[in-house]
Amino acid sequence: MNTPPAPRIAIIGAGPGGLTCARILQRHGITAAVYDGDAGPDDRNQGGTLDLHADNGQIALREAGLLEEFFRLARPEGQEMRRMDPAGTMLFHHVPEQDERFKPEIDRGQLCDLLLDSLQPGTVRWDHTLRTISGPAEGPRQLHFANGTTVECDLVIGADGAWSKVRRAVSQATPQYSGVSFLEAWFHDVATRHPDIAELVGQGSAAAADGDRCLFAQRNSGEHIRVYIIQRVPVDWITASGLTIQDTSGIRAHLLERYRDWSPRLRRLITDNDGLYVDRPIFALPVPHTWEHNPTVTLLGDAAHLMPPLGVGVNLAMLDACELALALAHHDTVDQAVHAYEKTMLPRSTETAQLLDGAADHLLSTELPDFATADNR
């Protein structure tokens, strides 16, 4: 009896989801190539800190054989949470136990490096921006990249984020603006250059909100802090105000007017940042987002279920990646594996997305976390 040839698997996107999928596949003896449009792993800023939860993200890292290495890199102290009112009065303060491991923080770049270093050399093909996918639904598929390369494969896994090119092969859905926008500000060498802000934020995160505006600050590794200025505004609020993203002083003046009633100490999160602001409007996919099964294309993470940034995105992406890789390892055909994966992933992501539908507004809420009890204050 002839053994069928090993499927040719292409993963689009070298973020945590795509890299996790490749790593677990390799642990089961399955080869997959990862294609990413960046020129290399250091081509751009990898983003802020992530909290990996014991009931999803950490499950994926355990299957990847990387959980203990993750704990050596992670910051359990990053689970500290402070909540203030706009006057700067502390309303809630959670300090994690010394051995608390439910959702320790790790910089996104550190997590990606951990996963990249675990892969076989040459797994990730940089400078491969996907343009289109062609070929019949039953396969094989042809991937056409901006650098002129064409690759043939038997399964395309879309791990390419919010504006996924792979999604177009199975779904016409596009992300919609949530009505809430983040403006990101960076603070470097905070112990020396910004000691007051370092003390305000602590070792984890600090937030204040008034129902329409929020300031959310989060410590990263290496004495860095990122602040997210969160507002309910039109998606084009910067240009509509006669400004550009490069006009730091103009944006500061605009924000200081919007936050004029807030405490001077909190307003320093707006004015004392190092460098330009970064505009990050929040988009989400329609709920529910499902698609007709396709035997040669599937999605994971934000490509499948883009939601507001409320602590679930990377965790669901890595859990998706884990379950898809295990399905491919444990089923006889790619089609069977994709069926099994989507049978679990789609209901789970739909349930979570329904819970978070419209929840971008929660980022502006004055309500305290559910676990903010008198004992925690």
Residue type for position 192: T
196 is in an annotated binding site: no
302 is in an annotated binding site: yes
Whole-angstrom distance, CA of residue 11 vs CA of residue 23: 11
- Kindly report whether the peptide bond that precedes residue 140 is cis, defined as omega within 30 degrees of 0: yes
Do 166 and 294 touch, CB atoms closer than 8 A? Answer: no
Query: What are the residues facing 279 on neighbouring strands?
Result: 183
Q: Is the dihedral of CA 189, 191, 197, 200 positive or negative?
A: positive
Largest CA distance in the chain: 77
The separation between CA 350 and the C-alpha centre of its own chain, rounded to angstroms, equals 18
Contacts of 347 (CB under 8 A, 6+ apart): none
Do 302 and 4 touch, CB atoms closer than 8 A? Answer: no
- Kindly report whether the peptide bond that precedes residue 286 is cis, defined as omega within 30 degrees of 0: no
Query: What are the residues facing 184 on neighbouring strands?
Result: 228, 278
Do 309 and 282 touch, CB atoms closer than 8 A? Answer: yes
335 is in an annotated binding site: no
| Pairing assessment for the beta strands 9-12 and 155-158 based on DSSP bridges | parallel
| Pairing assessment for the beta strands 297-299 and 155-158 based on DSSP bridges | parallel
What the block records as the tokens of 28 is 């089961």
44 is in an annotated binding site: yes
* Bind-site residues for FAD: 51, 108, 302
* Bind-site residues for NADPH: 44
* Bind-site residues: 44, 51, 108, 302
